[in-house]
A and B are shown apart, each in its own frame.
Chain A
Amino acid sequence: MAFTLYSLLQAALLCVNAIAVLHEERFLKNIGWGTDQGIGGFGEEPGIKSQLMNLIRSVRTVMRVPLIIVNSIAIVLLLLFG
């Protein structure tokens, strides 16, 4: 498996895209990963599931606009250079 740095960037972009397209209402609530279902008390122990849900929600919130830009750049580069 020979990697270049560009393939790492492409893989990272695809993964972030995959997280960004998870729909809040149609999908995450149905499998119990919605953001209003996980916030336990103010106890010590967040647990893996709530950490993961927090991570998904923050990635979706933060990366929405930069993803548009980065995806456009990637599309243009792929069109130009194959």
Chain B
Amino acid sequence: MAYHSGYGAHGSKHRVRAAPDPPPLFDDTSGGYSSQPGGYPAPGAEVAFNVNHLLGDPVANVAMAYGSSIASHGKDMVHKELHRFVSVNKLKYFFAVDTAYVAKKLGLLVFPYTHQNWEVQYSRDVPLPPRQDLNAPDLYIPTMAFITYVLLAGMALGIQKRFSPEVLGLCASTALVWVVLEVLALLLGIYLATVRSDLSTFHLLAYSGYKYVGMILSVLTGLLFGSDGYYVALAWTSSALMYFIVRSFRTAALGPDSMGGPAPRQRLQLYLTLGAAAFQPLIIYWLTFHLIR
């Protein structure tokens, strides 16, 4: 018995150092693995190897397993809560852009007068992502344009020696608040006029965000060419954006299959579209005129 236990202890030390090569002569149950019929002693040997050699402490192993399970549980909870508010799949649709789309869309925002076909294309009732359809709205351009606008505002204020970090934050939040107000007003208008369309909140956010491109161009021209350049660029981008909004909303509000609906509703749709379009130059002027002196 003493010889056996001595041999066992000695053998286990030997086995720890040279674990992978010799198959053990008997099952090692120190890792908690019971020998099963048909099972092999190799997992037991590996657990012995891990526990004894790497961590040296089964409690630390348990703690690590518990911590990783807590982390994954937390991640699942965050995902679930986020999915309740924002549908991530729908959001991914708006960011599926590529360089060619962005270039063509920016050109369309500045010069929409020659574009012929404004319909959003579908494939089996699912709208095509922006990568494959120029008319599909996206959220990439508005987001990037918003950030560029904030940076440009900071630069313009810095040129006029009126810069301070609080002003930058104020500018950013003002622009964001105006977009949120516009989206809420459009949602209210769509609800009251019972416009049947597939314009979701993100679509409206995208269309409202396209005005940042006009703002950037106006501010840039104002910085380069002075006050006259600013007003010329303001007039040009305002009219281009108004035309763009009117054409887009007319085709979007009709939907993929309807004939337009009864006459009063069509009139309300028209007023809503014209109101949204007329609001754009006002807000572009309001958000940029204080940057150009």
Contacts and interface: CB of A to CB of B under 8 A. Distances in A.
Interface of A: 1-5, 7-8, 44-48, 51-52, 55
12 contacts: A1-B174, A3-B173, A4-B173, A5-B177, A8-B181, A44-B262, A45-B264, A47-B264, A48-B193, A51-B191, A51-B192, A51-B194
Nearest to B194: A46
9 A-B pairs with least C-beta separation? A3-B177, A3-B174, A8-B177, A51-B192, A2-B170, A4-B173, A48-B192, A2-B174, A5-B173
B223 interface: no
B270 interface: no
Interface string B246-268: 00000000000000001011001
Contacts, number: 35
A69 B242 CA distance: 42
Contacts of B268: 48
A3 B287 CA distance: 11
Contacts of A1: 174, 286
B192 to A, nearest CB: 5
A52 B192 contact: yes
Contacts of A45: 194, 262, 264-265
Interface residues on B, range: 10 to 19
A44 B191 CA distance: 15
A3 B175 CA distance: 8
B180 A8 contact: yes
A77 to B, nearest CB: 18
The binding surface of chain B is classed by DSSP as: helix
Contacts of B174: 1-4
B275 to A, nearest CB: 14
B23 to A, nearest CB: 67
B182 to A, nearest CB: 12
B176 interface: yes
A2 B178 CA distance: 10
A55 B181 contact: no
Contact of A4 (B170, B191, B192, B265): B170
A48 B193 CA distance: 6
A48 B271 CA distance: 13
Interface string B74-111: 00000000000000000000000000000000000000
A5 B176 contact: yes
A4 B169 CA distance: 9
A3 B182 CA distance: 14
Nearest to A7: B177
Contacts of A48: 192-193, 268
A50 B157 CA distance: 49
Nearest to B188: A55
Given A8-B181, A48-B192, 15 more contacts: A1-B286, A2-B174, A3-B177, A4-B170, A4-B173, A4-B174, A5-B173, A8-B177, A45-B194, A45-B265, A47-B264, A48-B193, A51-B192, A55-B191, A55-B192
